[in-house]
Structure formats: C-alpha cells, structure tokens
Structure 1
Amino acid sequence: MIVHFYTRPGCHLCDDARLMLKLVREDVAFDIKEVNIEEDDTLHEKYMLMIPVIELEGKIIQYGQVDYATILEALLR
C-alpha cells in the first residue's frame, strides 16, 4: 500500500502531517511517497491551497490539518 503525501518546503502543517503518518505507520504497514508540489506545475496548481494532502489510491484521505484517527481509518478500509 502506497500513500502519496503532497507537500512543499517550509510548510509547518506538512511537518506535522509527516509526523502523523509516521505514527500511523507504527500500527499499519504502508509506504509513503512524498511529493514536493513545487517540482510539478500541475500538482502545484491543484494542491497549493490544500497542502499537506494525503492520498491513497487516487482518493484524498485528508488535507490541511491531519489527524491520526482519520488516516488510520482510511488505511484500514
């Protein structure tokens, strides 16, 4: 299972989300593919006001303020 994590440098919410993903990964096995939206114009335009964005199988799990329970629930489905 691969979770896409859309982020950008200097984003404090992204730092918090990264930590949250690592906590969830202690309970559920998955890989994190971190993507810097500033390296892709299309992604930057799509996510610039939403980051951090956590996505699984093309579906956004959560964005902005993320929490452990929401991520865990989505991954256990």
Structure 2
Amino acid sequence: MNVKYYSRANCELCVDGLRTLKLVQEDIAFDIEIIDIEEDDDIHEKYMLMIPVVEKDGEILQYGTLDYATLTEALI
C-alpha cells in the first residue's frame, strides 16, 4: 500500500504530521511517498492551505492536524 504525504519545508505541523504517520506505519504496513508541494505549482495551489495532507488512492484521508486514530481507521 502506498500513501502520499503532501508537505513543505519549514512547516512544523508537517513535521508533527509525519511523526504521527510513521507511528501508524509501525502498526500497519505501507510506504510513505513524501511530496513537497512547492515543487509543483498545481499541487501547491491545491494543497497550500491544507498541508499536511495524507492521501491514498486519490482520496484524502486527513489533512491539517493529523491524529493516530483517524489515520489508523482509514488505512485498515
């Protein structure tokens, strides 16, 4: 299973979100593809007010402040 993680540099919420996502990864097997929104204008425009964003199969699972329970339930 592949999960996309949209973030950007110098984003404390993104650092916290990745930490939470990696905790979930300890219990559920999946790969994290980290995407810097500032490297693509379309992605930047789409997610600039939402980051961090966790997406699987084109569906946003959670964005902003991420929590373990919501991500775990969405990935099971």
Give the TM-score, by structure 2 length. 0.99
Indicate the residue corresponding to 1:2 in structure 2: 2
| Residue identity opposite 2:30 in structure 1 | F
Gaps of 5+ in 2: none
**1:11 and 2:8 equivalent?**
no
RMSD: 0.4
What are the within-5 Å matches in structure 2 for residues 1-77 of structure 1?
1-76=1-76
Q: Distance in 2 between matches of 1:69 and 1:58?
A: 20
Q: Distance in 1 between matches of 2:61 and 2:16?
A: 16
Give the TM-score, by structure 1 length. 0.97
Structure 1 ranges of 4+ moved more than 6 A: none
What percent identity do the matched residue pairs reach? 61
SS in 2 for 1:26: helix
SS in 1 for 2:55: strand
Q: How far off is 1:55 after superposition? A: 0.3
Q: Distance in 1 between matches of 2:63 and 2:22?
A: 16
